[in-house]
Amino acid sequence: MNAVLAAVGIMLVLSLCRIHVVVALIIGALAGGLIGGLGMEATLAAFNKGLGAGATVALSYALLGAFAVAIGKSGLAHALSDKALALVGRQHSGNGASSVKWLLIGLLALVAVSSQNILPIHIAFIPLLVPPLLYVLTTLQIDRRLIACVITFGLITPYMFLPVGFGNIFLNNILLANVAKAGVDVSGVNVTQAMLIPAIGMLVGLLVAVFISYRKPRVYDLARVGKAEGTRTAYSPRTLAVAALAVAVAFATQLWLDSMIVGALLGFVVFTVSGVVRWREADDLFTEGMKMMAMIGFIMISAQGFAEVMTATGQVQSLVDASAQWIGNSRGVGVMLMLLVGLLVTMGIGSSFSTVPIIAAIFVPLCVALGFSPMATVCIVGTAGALGDAGSPASDSTLGPTSGLNVDGQHHHIWDSVVPTFLHYNLPLLVFGWVAAMVL
């Protein structure tokens, strides 16, 4: 049995059985290593090696968490919450409540999309913005699975379609670079055009979630929301202006130096120098921000260890090779198998950015042999990489929404974030990715 299939299968089954994701990743990695013939010692060595790579990512999120806490200290999130509460108070029933619901959904979608390009802090905004809005969401009986789908859409679609911020990294630095490295001339390829149809698939999944799957009210315990929210942060026009300045500094720095970490640090410095974050409080706030992202960091560290074990078995390559043998000369079968392999690999690794380099080396020559155009090749590899980001227990695109929606213990990571996003985004991506490859 292929070690990658076994490891990912074990990890997913354990996660669905409500075993903690970190434990599921460790057990899955050990099982995969042993099935792949590495032995216990080599499996542990590979896992430990992967942890080092994951530590860099975890530290990045911890620093972004500190910046997010500073934004929270300014009262920006609570200002938005208060505006929403005021609207609920004035329009507490009928069409008024409905308009507030759509306003909140639109706001969260806009902020999620912006977190990938305009203000590339990724998921760091979620634990600060979402908890203050939970009282409003609960009062309006909005299904949190819907909110998870909305946020995940905003976290994934921009980077797989818009070449700005994270999208610039994924589309230009990773996708086009690896396809070119594998021997295809991509100089005339418009990467946005190549990924347009798969992005439409993501949009279709979002519309199904909003208007069909989770349109009905869902009741949550309002008392638990109030206890989880805690004390509210005071704010003033000055603190909100400082927050806007810090955000602008962080964004400009990210564009200038291509470093989210330096941008977050400078944004934090703006808060400190302005007095919004007092000097004697800075250390505690920084620590609080790192704690806020700690669980996500540990999961991502474990995921890197898992990925390293899968690579060490050498059976990612054999999985791809086996798919190539199944394909024969059928372009339709070829595309579907390549997309399914991409889905499987990303589900285990939890990162589209890490999947593309793994699959591009094999898929690109296969696409050339089957006669696909350079644009179709880019589309196939890009879609295969993006598949599985939604719906992976170890992906920050599902971990992020859970971190904000579960502060009162009423939102389960697997059944309320992972399963809904898997169904609404991976299935449409398979269909629309296949169609795109066949027509481009």
**Residue 241 domain-assigned?**
yes
Burial of 400 (0-12, 13-18, 19+ CB in 10 A): buried
- 337 vs 68, 144, 226, 342, 366, CA distance in Å? 40, 33, 48, 9, 12
Q: Could you give the residue ranges of the DSSP H alpha helices within 279-351?
A: 279-292, 294-313, 315-327, 331-349
**Cβ-based neighbour number of residue 132 at 10 Å:** 25
Would the pLDDT of 182 be above 90? no
- 432 vs 24, 195, 382, 395, CA distance in Å? 31, 10, 12, 22
DSSP letter at 125 equals G
**Residue 223 domain-assigned?**
no
| Residue 57 contacts residue 304 (beta carbons within 8 Å) | yes
Determine the 3-state secondary structure of 278 from DSSP: coil
Would the pLDDT of 148 be above 80? yes
| Structure confidence by residue, pLDDT tens digits, 268-283 | 888 888 888 888 777 8
| Structure confidence by residue, pLDDT tens digits, 230-261 | 556 677 888 888 888 887 887 787 667 766 67
Q: What is the mean pLDDT of residues 209-216?
A: 95
Would the pLDDT of 229 be above 70? no
Q: How confident is the model at residue 377 (pLDDT cuts 50, 70, 90)?
A: very high
**Residue 419 domain-assigned?**
yes
Check residue 235 and give its pLDDT.
77
Q: How confident is the model at residue 94 (pLDDT cuts 50, 70, 90)?
A: low
CA angle, 94 then 95 then 99, to 5°: 125
**Residue 221 domain-assigned?**
no
pLDDT averaged over every residue in the chain: 82
**Residue 8 domain-assigned?**
yes
Q: Hey, what amino acid is at 149?
A: C
Q: What is the mean pLDDT of residues 378-391?
A: 88
Cα–Cα distance for residue pair 55/48, rounded to 1 Å: 11
Check residue 232 and give its pLDDT.
60
Burial letters for 213-233: b for 16+ Cβ neighbours within 10 Å, e otherwise?
Answer: bbeeeeebeeeebeeebeeeb
Cα–Cα distance for residue pair 183/159, rounded to 1 Å: 24
Check residue 289 and give its pLDDT.
73
Would the pLDDT of 151 be above 90? yes
Cα–Cα distance for residue pair 400/412, rounded to 1 Å: 12
Would the pLDDT of 326 be above 80? no
Lowest mean pLDDT among 50-54, 89-93, 341-345: 89-93
Burial letters for 293-322: b for 16+ Cβ neighbours within 10 Å, e otherwise?
Answer: bebbbbbbbbbbbbbbbbbbbebbeebbee
Those residues with Cβ within 8 angstroms of residue 356's Cβ, 6 or more apart along the chain or in another chain? 170, 174, 175, 178, 381, 382, 385
Comparison of pLDDT for 267 and 141, the residue scoring more: 141
Cα–Cα distance for residue pair 330/327, rounded to 1 Å: 6
Lowest mean pLDDT among 53-62, 111-120, 169-178: 53-62
Q: Which two tokens stand for residue 248?
A: 């602008």
Cα–Cα distance for residue pair 382/339, rounded to 1 Å: 10
Percent of the chain with pLDDT over 90: 22
Q: Which two tokens stand for residue 49?
A: 């090696």
Check residue 54 and give its pLDDT.
64
Q: How confident is the model at residue 95 (pLDDT cuts 50, 70, 90)?
A: low
Q: What is the mean pLDDT of residues 183-204?
A: 92
**Residue 222 domain-assigned?**
no
> Residue with structure tokens 């898992």?
306
Q: What is the mean pLDDT of residues 330-339?
A: 87
DSSP letter at 233 equals P
Cα–Cα distance for residue pair 163/171, rounded to 1 Å: 6
Give how many domains the chain has, as a whole number.
Answer: 1
Q: Which domain holds residue 319?
A: 3-216+232-439
**Residue 11 domain-assigned?**
yes
Would the pLDDT of 93 be above 60? no
Q: How confident is the model at residue 436 (pLDDT cuts 50, 70, 90)?
A: very high
Comparison of pLDDT for 94 and 276, the residue scoring more: 276
| Residue 378 contacts residue 176 (beta carbons within 8 Å) | yes
Cα–Cα distance for residue pair 212/208, rounded to 1 Å: 5
Check residue 233 and give its pLDDT.
67
Cα–Cα distance for residue pair 400/292, rounded to 1 Å: 11
Q: What is the mean pLDDT of residues 205-215?
A: 96
Would the pLDDT of 223 be above 90? no
**pTM of the predicted model as reported, rounded to 2 decimal places:** 0.77
Q: Which two tokens stand for residue 149?
A: 């789908």
